[in-house]
Amino acid sequence: MTSRSTYDYIIVGAGSAGCVLAAKLAADASARVLLLEAGGDHRKRSDVQRPAEYLRLQGTSLDWNYSTTVSAGLAGRTMICPRGRMLGGSSGINAMIYHEGLPEDLDAWQNVAGDFWNREAIELAMQELRGELESTESIEFPAEITPTGQAFMAAAKSACDQGKIAGRPEIYRRTTRRGARQSAMQAFLDSPPANLTIRSDTMVQRLEIRNGRTAGVVVGKSNHIETLDANRGVILAAGAIASPQLLMLSGIGPTKHLAEHGITTQIDSPAVGAGLVDHLAFPVTFAAKSTARFPSRWSMRDLVRWSYDQRGPIGSNLAEVGGFFDLPSRSGVPDAVRERAIQLHVTPTHYLRYPADDSPAAITLAVTGSQPISRGRVSLRSAEIDDSPSIDPGYLSDSRDVEVLAQGVELAREIAASEPLADWIDHELLPGEKRRTAAQLERAIRRFALTLYHPVGSCSMGIDPAASVVDPQLRVHGVENLYIADASVFPTLPRANPQATVMMVASRAAGAIANHSAS
């Protein structure tokens, strides 16, 4: 059986970007907007709402459960690649940090994608977005910082004041409302307007492309295929893994690769899937004195505290504090790379073992190389939407990324040795006090570094169709009526947790798409 329906805009994916896009495009009451989401509505689940439980959502049905290919850079390991599958997308399972990043990072965007992405316009869009999130009480600072987080803040500040390190410790703002998660779905679409249709549990199979124009999308299974038509545009917001997959399944991608899977090329676009990049964190972990143990199960008191005033362990997103820090000038790397090269996420837990019940009292300073050079790609494993694509972020394939992390380990050690944090610490567990040489640190980094869950760049924007997938206004090169607006279009990965930048991209995209489709 087949059926069809017509809309003005069809948005694929109700994640961080898709929810912003839907709210903005539907602000024009005359536009019929359809938002399609493969996952369900899980906003009310307690494990989604409680910040400290976000790690427990991984590997559940709320996660696409992707993993990366075996990686030489990670000593032959594969890596989990969690992505949210629900209304709200990854903003429904993420760690909630809302960071606008460093404005100068987006100058690189202007260099590759032109004036639409100038710093002033981006800062204005970020400011407007912050205002919108504040007006729905969807971002806030934590009501309480764990004692070890407080000790980190004081120790890092003291190490900076004494000139031992350079940087800025910070308390991270987050997407919570009165201590409970606010996904993009809640922040932007809690009361959707009448001209917006939201369909959850609806998997888009492929795009419908006719004569160089995207007519709509195909959803459903073989016993009931539906074609949904879009007069003014289809916007892919399926994220950095699924957006390139959907393009390739629809015949937009590198011709040779498509042919390997029996897919007829509609548009030869060599850059689809290329350029994938992710932040990687090495968890410098310390055994803490037993009074610092963060619970992995909640007491009645914890539940009552969180319900009444959002305090206590349940309200912690585990990474309340951190900040950006420089590599030492003796490191020999150019200033542009050295400055704010390391982002820290400080957790009151053993990063590798929490939330297991037997995870010991520990504190982790997770060291992230904020500007990784290594790049990889998303490619198809088969021509079936139900087969996960092959994901290779190229982790640590460029040895300069290892050097940055190794120097970050020394930075973390310096802070951990500073009072008052030193008082909480018993001894170093990872990489371990005896691991000091470059070769020892490299081995530990390749064995234990973990994703920080920030894949971007697999359909990057740019001017040259041979080197990019969308133009600066996010129109897919070579085909009409098709846009991409999500983490996949980032031409570079900014020094930040990306969700604020993803939402900013969606917000700018909505304006550009409405203007373009009206002309």
How many other β-carbons are positioned within 10 Å of the β-carbon of residue 59?
11
The reply on whether position 461 binds ligand FAD by CB under 6 A is no
List the one residue from 94, 182, 250, 310 that touches ligand FAD (CB under 6 A).
Answer: 94
**Region binding ligand FAD by CB under 6 A among candidate stretches 91-99, 303-311, 391-399, 467-475:** 91-99
Q: How far is the CB of 443 from ligand FAD (least distance, A)?
A: 26
**CA separation for the pair 175, 164 (Å, rounded):** 33
| Ramachandran angles phi, psi of 90, nearest 5° | -70, -20
**CA separation for the pair 482, 73 (Å, rounded):** 36
Compute CA distances 454 → 48, 72, 103, 458, 469, whole Å: 19, 20, 18, 12, 20
Q: How far is the CB of 337 from ligand FAD (least distance, A)?
A: 22
Q: Catalytic site residues?
A: 454
How many other β-carbons are positioned within 10 Å of the β-carbon of residue 118?
14
462-491: contacts with ligand FAD (CB under 6 A): 486-487
Amino acid at 472: P
Please identify the residue of the shown chain whose CB is closest to the bound ligand FAD. Answer: 15
Name which of 15 and 431 has its Cβ closer to ligand FAD: 15
Residue 194 has what DSSP assignment? T
Q: How far is the CB of 316 from ligand FAD (least distance, A)?
A: 13
List the one residue from 62, 74, 96, 367 that touches ligand FAD (CB under 6 A).
Answer: 96
* 175-206 burial code (b ≥16 CB/10 A, e <16): bbbebbbbbbbbbbbeebeebbbbebebbbbb
Residues in the chain: 519
- Nearest-Å Rg of the Cα atoms of the chain is 23
Name which of 246 and 280 has its Cβ closer to ligand FAD: 246
**Which of 318, 327, 328 shows the shortest CA–CA distance to 283?**
318
List the one residue from 24, 50, 85, 475 that touches ligand FAD (CB under 6 A).
Answer: 85
List the one residue from 11, 22, 31, 38 that touches ligand FAD (CB under 6 A).
Answer: 38
How many other β-carbons are positioned within 10 Å of the β-carbon of residue 47?
15
**CA separation for the pair 180, 25 (Å, rounded):** 27
**CA separation for the pair 386, 427 (Å, rounded):** 46
Name which of 237 and 409 has its Cβ closer to ligand FAD: 237
Whether residue 514 contacts residue 28, with contact meaning beta carbons closer than 8 Å, is answered with yes
The reply on whether position 39 binds ligand FAD by CB under 6 A is yes
Cβ-Cβ contacts under 8 Å for 123 (sequence gap 6 or more): 103
Name which of 327 and 450 has its Cβ closer to ligand FAD: 450
Name which of 13 and 372 has its Cβ closer to ligand FAD: 13
| Strand 180-181 relative to strand 425-430, pairing | unpaired
The reply on whether position 62 binds ligand FAD by CB under 6 A is no
**Helix, strand, or coil (residue 465):** coil
**Region binding ligand FAD by CB under 6 A among candidate stretches 88-96, 126-134, 406-414, 416-424:** 88-96
**Region binding ligand FAD by CB under 6 A among candidate stretches 286-294, 394-402, 428-436, 498-506:** 498-506
Whether residue 344 contacts residue 335, with contact meaning beta carbons closer than 8 Å, is answered with no
Whether residue 169 contacts residue 323, with contact meaning beta carbons closer than 8 Å, is answered with yes
Please check if 498 is assigned to a binding site.
Answer: yes
List the one residue from 73, 233, 239, 313 that touches ligand FAD (CB under 6 A).
Answer: 239
Q: How far is the CB of 454 from ligand FAD (least distance, A)?
A: 5
203-232: contacts with ligand FAD (CB under 6 A): 203-204
Name which of 159 and 503 has its Cβ closer to ligand FAD: 503
**CA separation for the pair 318, 313 (Å, rounded):** 9
**Which of 68, 56, 440, 435 shows the shortest CA–CA distance to 276?**
68
**CA separation for the pair 326, 495 (Å, rounded):** 12
440-459: contacts with ligand FAD (CB under 6 A): 453-454
List the one residue from 237, 252, 367, 411 that touches ligand FAD (CB under 6 A).
Answer: 237
Name which of 216 and 431 has its Cβ closer to ligand FAD: 216
List the one residue from 9, 10, 11, 14 that touches ligand FAD (CB under 6 A).
Answer: 14
The reply on whether position 83 binds ligand FAD by CB under 6 A is yes
| Ramachandran angles phi, psi of 423, nearest 5° | -65, -25
Q: How far is the CB of 162 from ligand FAD (least distance, A)?
A: 30
Name which of 246 and 284 has its Cβ closer to ligand FAD: 246
Q: How far is the CB of 427 from ligand FAD (least distance, A)?
A: 29
114-153: contacts with ligand FAD (CB under 6 A): none
**CA separation for the pair 242, 259 (Å, rounded):** 19
Please check if 499 is assigned to a binding site.
Answer: yes
List the one residue from 10, 74, 79, 82 that touches ligand FAD (CB under 6 A).
Answer: 82
The reply on whether position 275 binds ligand FAD by CB under 6 A is no
Whether residue 6 contacts residue 175, with contact meaning beta carbons closer than 8 Å, is answered with no
Q: Which helix (H) or strand (E) holds 219?
A: strand 213-221
**Region binding ligand FAD by CB under 6 A among candidate stretches 333-341, 410-418, 435-443, 493-501:** 493-501
- Binding site residues for FAD, as ranges? 204, 498-499
Per CB under 6 A, residues contacting ligand FAD are: 12-18, 36-39, 82-85, 89-91, 93-97, 203-204, 237-239, 242, 246, 385, 453-454, 486-487, 497-499, 502
